[in-house]
Amino acid sequence: MEAVLALAIGTLTASGLWLLFRPRTFQVVLGLCLLSYAVNLFIVAAGRLRTDAPPIVGKVAVDPAQYVDPVPQALVLTAIVISFATTALLLVVLLASRGLTGTDHVDGEEDDQ
Amino acid sequence: MNGWIHHLVIAPIVLPMMVCAVLLAFNERRRTLKRVLSLGTAAALVAISVALIWEVDSGRQTLPGTPHVYLLGNWPAPFGIVLVADRLSILMVLLSSVLGFTALFYAIARWDRSGPRFHVLFLLLLAGVNGAFLTGDVFNLFVFFEVLLAASYGLILHGAGEERTKASLQYITINIATSLLFLIGVAMIYAVTGTLNMADLATRVSRVPQEDLMLLEAGAAILGIAFLVKAGIWPLSFWLPRTYAAAAPPVGAVFAIMTKVGVYVILRLSSLLFGANSGEAAGFANNWLIWSGFATMAYGTLGILATRKLTGVAGHYVMVSSGTLLAAIGMGGGSLTAALLFYLASSTLAVGALYLIIEPVERNAGEDDMIAGIAEPVFDDEYTGALAEEENETGVVIPGTIAVLGGGFIFCSLLLAGLPPLSGFIAKFAIIDALFGGEAITPAAWILIALIILSGLATLISMTRAGIDLLWTPSEDSPPSLSVIEVAPIGLLLAACLALMIFAGPAYVYMEGTAAALSDRSVYIEAVRSVSRAGEARP
């Protein structure tokens, strides 16, 4: 399971980075999306991997070893919401830039090739 | 610390947010109402931060300088999120409030009309900045960073125009990528230490086992890179001059505090996590800070000399200022920390004043190409018509435009270059004096002294050149009108710098107290640990 998760994070990061350095704005946005997925998975992994363990402890005193760490799950939730919102904003700016400059290049002008 | 004064700590965050929500309810035609509300809020923020400084510094109910800790939602620390108002964070809140108030004041002259919802975004930015200064929790810091960044994305686009859109596209992309680095750093630190509370983190760092230390340092380094991008360190700063130059002047002025947010976090975390008594991890990355600070200063100095536009000078000066601060943080030491805090306050106010004065000066010289950026809105949302009723309420026009502008410009130049008699001189003098204060002067200290003097010289040359170009060249057109609303905030900022010079003694004592609190982190840790929940007896 660790290996699968590590591979998934690695693949997502690598593809995200590659897309981030592409010249087209839409590719950059997709790259940032993939990177944020990778980061979200990474945060979950930072709380140690557990399967079949609930994150919430009841009122009775119990052994915390039976439960998974709830903090990273809360962090991931926050991170997802924030990256969703900023991506939406970036899409709007992308459209504005396309409308104003007439190109979807990240610099607002084409390379002379 | 009872009663209402206790809740004052959260006011710099909650007040602007609440006013934001109220402002959203009114449409753009209720301009006067919006201006009164937002300017009133900004003024209240200044008053609140002064009251907090008074409260923390005099410490009427506790020892002077004891941090005020506020438990959000009354959850006990370190499980809940805490706000910590100590001398450093309150000083930063005061700086951002003063800068925010003056920039907002200036914006009322005309800039708040060049796009929708300026006041809402502006107050949101202030809330985010204040939150980042006050929070005592690393993940909460991330949230406030996102709040201030989200507001800054809107503000950088304020006024629309092609140049702003192009600059903001890159600015937003860089900041989203940086936020991801921030998250990776936070996750790694959490994985090693199991806590996100800064005070708790500080106690656990010294107990991190040897085999995990590398992981912790990697996490801290990734986190640090996120802040260094914000602070504009070379080579992560190529976005900065262009973005700041594209922003509307009041936005540029308030953005001057944003690089300082990065500097503040570096200062806070390096003193808490990697201070003298944190075991194996002590002094981590100090050399990196010093040398990248030097590189930033050198690059900024060259940029100041190379650029022709005043906005470029200001952008590169922001970098020089960040570089100086980071190098000084890397070198550490009590007297140097006090000096760098003084420099931080002085240079932030000076850059703010410079951003505000650039536009009237260039307008005076007839160089209108920069401010022509008030373009038609890209999207047909509800914001139409506000531009049509432009220029009919310039306010009181003051006589002697050239004299006022020239005087302000000279003051700004002196401040930035660090010449006597203004606070910029005292700040630089204090840093150099602190560097000479040690027993043996290291080569790095010599380099820092040389760079400080050289960057001051470069600023002076560049500002003189620009001043001759823009103010002395006779122009055929009659000088354009300059309203009191535009001059007053510049005057206020310069007066603040002047006050910093006149009351340099008390101000410096405060900075020394702050520096002492930073070098002795046990005060901070103890304040957070011993805080009692409301409704419970103090242990």
How much of chain B exceeds pLDDT 90, in percent?
A: 12
Cβ atoms of B490 and B343 within 8 Å: the answer is no
Residue B369 has pLDDT above 80, yes or no: no
Answer whether A68 touches B (CB < 8 Å): no
Disruptive mutation site among B146, B169, B190, B192 for chain A (greatest number of A CBs within 10 Å): B169
- Say if the Cβ atoms of B172 and A32 lie within 8 Å: no
Using a CB-CB cut-off of 8 Å, the residues of chain B touching A50 are none
pLDDT, tens only, B39-87: 899 999 999 998 888 888 776 666 677 788 888 888 887 788 888 888 8
N-terminal to C-terminal alpha carbon distance within chain B: 15
Average pLDDT over residues B527-536: 74
Q: What is the pLDDT of residue B256?
A: 86
DSSP string, B194-210: S--BHHHHHHHHTT--H
> Between A and B, how many residue pairs show a Cβ–Cβ distance under 8 A?
100
Average pLDDT over residues B3-24: 86
Using a CB-CB cut-off of 8 Å, the residues of chain A touching B142 are 78
pLDDT, tens only, B180-196: 999 999 999 998 888 88
Residues 73-102 of A with CB under 8 A from B: 75, 78-79, 82-83, 85-87, 89-90, 92-97, 99-101
Please tell me which of the candidates B149, B165, B190 has its beta carbon nearest to residue A96.
Answer: B165
Q: What is the pLDDT of residue B374?
A: 46
pLDDT-derived band at B481, boundaries 50, 70, 90: low
Cβ atoms of B110 and B99 within 8 Å: the answer is no
Residues 8-27 of A with CB under 8 A from B: 20, 25
Residue B394 has pLDDT above 70, yes or no: no
Average pLDDT over residues B425-433: 87
Disruptive mutation site among B81, B163, B176 for chain A (greatest number of A CBs within 10 Å): B176
Residue A34 has pLDDT above 80, yes or no: yes
- Say if the Cβ atoms of B176 and A97 lie within 8 Å: no
pLDDT-derived band at B536, boundaries 50, 70, 90: low
Cβ atoms of B247 and B121 within 8 Å: the answer is no
Q: Which residue has the tokens 């959000």?
A: B72
Eight-class DSSP state of B27: -
Using a CB-CB cut-off of 8 Å, the residues of chain B touching A48 are 191
How much of chain B exceeds pLDDT 70, in percent?
A: 87
State ipTM: 0.91
- Say if the Cβ atoms of A28 and B173 lie within 8 Å: yes
Q: What is the pLDDT of residue A18?
A: 94
Q: Which two tokens stand for residue B260?
A: 């300082």
pLDDT-derived band at B278, boundaries 50, 70, 90: low
- Say if the Cβ atoms of A108 and B183 lie within 8 Å: no
Residues 24-53 of A with CB under 8 A from B: 25, 28, 32, 35-36, 39, 42-43, 45-48
Helix residue ranges per DSSP H, A21-69: 25-46
Q: What is the pLDDT of residue B366?
A: 58
Residue B291 has pLDDT above 60, yes or no: yes
Q: What is the pLDDT of residue B281?
A: 63
pLDDT-derived band at B282, boundaries 50, 70, 90: low
Answer whether B187 touches A (CB < 8 Å): yes
- Say if the Cβ atoms of B160 and A96 lie within 8 Å: yes
Using a CB-CB cut-off of 8 Å, the residues of chain B touching A83 are 176, 179-180
pLDDT, tens only, B371-391: 444 445 445 554 444 444 444
Q: What is the pLDDT of residue B93?
A: 92
Residue B330 has pLDDT above 70, yes or no: yes
d(CA B98, CA B539): 38
- Domains for chain A: give ranges and CATH numbers: 2-50+68-101 (1.10.287)
Residue B9 has pLDDT above 50, yes or no: yes
Is B284 in a helix, a strand, or coil? Answer: coil
Residue B300 has pLDDT above 80, yes or no: yes
Per-residue 3-state assignment (H helix, E strand, C coil) for B433-481: HHHHHCCCCCHHHHHHHHHHHHHHHHHHHHHHHHHHHHHHCCCCCCCCC
Angle between helices B138-156 and B118-134 (to 10 degrees): 160
Q: Is B35 exposed, middle or buried (0-12, 13-18, 19+ CB in 10 A)?
A: middle
Answer whether B150 touches A (CB < 8 Å): yes
- Say if the Cβ atoms of B190 and A39 lie within 8 Å: no
Using a CB-CB cut-off of 8 Å, the residues of chain A touching B165 are 93, 96-97, 100-101, 108
Cα-based angle B440, B442, B443 (whole degrees, multiple of 5): 145
Q: Which two tokens stand for residue A89?
A: 């904003």
Tell me the nearest-neighbour CA distance from B196 into chain A, angstroms: 10
- Say if the Cβ atoms of A96 and B180 lie within 8 Å: no
Average pLDDT over residues B327-342: 84
Average pLDDT over residues B269-291: 75
- Say if the Cβ atoms of B139 and A89 lie within 8 Å: no
Q: What is the pLDDT of residue B386?
A: 46
Average pLDDT over residues A35-56: 85
d(CA B164, CA B160): 6
N-terminal to C-terminal alpha carbon distance within chain A: 47
pLDDT-derived band at B510, boundaries 50, 70, 90: confident
Average pLDDT over residues B467-491: 73
